[in-house]
Amino acid sequence: MPLVSTQYGPVRGTDAGVLSFKGIPYAAPPVGPNRFLPPRPPEPWTSPRDARSYGATAPQTRTEGILGELIPRTIIPGDDYLNLNVWTPGLSGRAPVMVFIHGGSFTSGSGALSVYDGTRFARDGVVLVTINYRLGADGFLWFGDGTPNLGLLDQIAALTWVRDNIDGFGGDPGNVTIFGESAGAMSVCTLLAMPAAEGLFHRAIAESGAAHNTIGPSSARQVGARLAAALGTAPTRAAIARVPVARLLAAQDSLSQQVAAKPRAKPWGDVARTLLPFSPVVDGDLLPAAPLDRIRAGAGADVDLLIGTNSEEARLFLVPTGVGARMNTPFLYAAAALRFGLPVGGVRRYRAGLPGATPGDVLAAVMTDSYYRIPAIRLAEAHQGTYVYEFGWRSPACDGALGACHGLELAFVFDNLDDPSAAPMLGPAPPQHLADLVHKSWVDFAVTGDPGWPPYTPQQRISRHFNTASGTTTDDRPTERHTWQNLR
């Protein structure tokens, strides 16, 4: 069993062709006196720590029904959940490093999902790291006092650990690529704009998330007040800390369901736009301004960037739940489209571009563009030299109606098509040649900063399309893009 010394103590991992080390603490357990405080160093240890299995994961609830099958969660109880996992081709040398930040709407997920297993990255010469961070109220609740954005500070603490320790695992701390999906991608784009994260990574990949998903201080206080009212406590972190965890998690889920059902600005503020009650806050200090504004002003300009989306992101939220099928009249889906900021007349343009589409299909296209595709384009326009992709292979799940939905690309990125947890979404015969291509593009970008196609510019708008037959395209769906020209 391989042994590595870290700054806090030795860890003993597993050798199964590539070396893996799991559940390594990068910060102290965020409980008791450490709760609602910035991450603190873990207590050092002297005897080799067993790092052969995943450590605890952040508190979260399980998802039932078909969504739980399509997007499984791994929940491991324990307080010591600020930990990370490392896969490496060997302990000597200086291999490129990739650090994955998981998604889950900032309220669920972990670095311990089997589909995130980094064996294939290590096989291809990359040191792969997955991390956990504080979620929900513990990570993002803020009443205006104390330290905000604790979940982001956890991510920065993990990246600091990588900088200080990864050379012992055969990694190069001078060549670190962060990448994430959904809330993880939003985290990546927010870290680009945070002064405290400068210098901790050199390349970044954002999958299905961009720089639009932050909220202001007043909206954060509104969320805090609604959470406290639901729990019957005072609107303070100290009062929230006294609430049993299971009750707090249930209240968090309830708030998410409420804003999804009625995303109105008066009770929710910015959350009516982001649909994420617990998310990064533009506090003016740790996050001085909205990430996109910071990036337009030059933040992260020296970081190579790859960003993209899936062609039918929103179908994950509309098809299994039956919401899309219930949008069965023009009035219903037009009203829903307006909620997502679609300008007057926009629905007509989307219908013209989707002949024969159902109302639910049109709504899915509007939601995908509003929440994912157009924000990705805005970031590519703001960050010179960005590479853009779109993942278009369609899942056979739900009788083929799920399409190229949110989260579908992950098993291809990690080259883990054989992972049993991915089978409900991938079906019986996902194309291995597509996984080979996507995975190689991510590895090439981490190694060289070039994924294999030209960068995106406002003049050419070149993007890479991944599908059964892949290739590059220029200015996809310009009519829809122009429809959102006022979306900042």
383, 406, 439, 465: which one is catalytic?
406
- Catalytic residue selected from 182, 219, 256, 311: 182
Does the active-site annotation cover 313?
Answer: yes
How far is Cα 451 from Cα 304, in angstroms, rounded to an integer? 11
Annotated catalytic, 47? no
Mark whether 182 is an active-site residue. yes
Rounded Cα distance, 77 and 115, in Å: 20
Residue of 313, 390, 409, 480 with catalytic role: 313
334-343 long-range contacts, Cβ below 8 Å, gap at least 24?
A: 336/363, 337/362, 337/363, 337/366, 339/263, 340/366, 340/367, 340/370, 340/371, 341/273, 341/370, 341/484, 341/487, 342/366, 342/370, 342/483, 342/484, 343/483, 343/484, 343/486
Q: How far apart are the first and last CA of the chain?
A: 52
Kindly give the interhelix angle for 330-339 and 346-353, rounded to the nearest 10 degrees. Answer: 120
Do residues 414 and 438 touch, judged by C-beta distance below 8 A? Answer: no
Q: What are phi and psi of 273, to 5 degrees?
A: -90, -45
Give DSSP secondary structure letters for 86-113.
EEES-SSS-EEEEEEE--STTTS--TT-
Q: Are strands 95-101 and 471-474 parallel, antiparallel or unpaired?
A: unpaired
386 phi, psi to nearest 5 deg = -70, 140
Cα separation of 158 and 417, whole Å?
28
Question: What are the catalytic residues?
Answer: 182, 313, 406
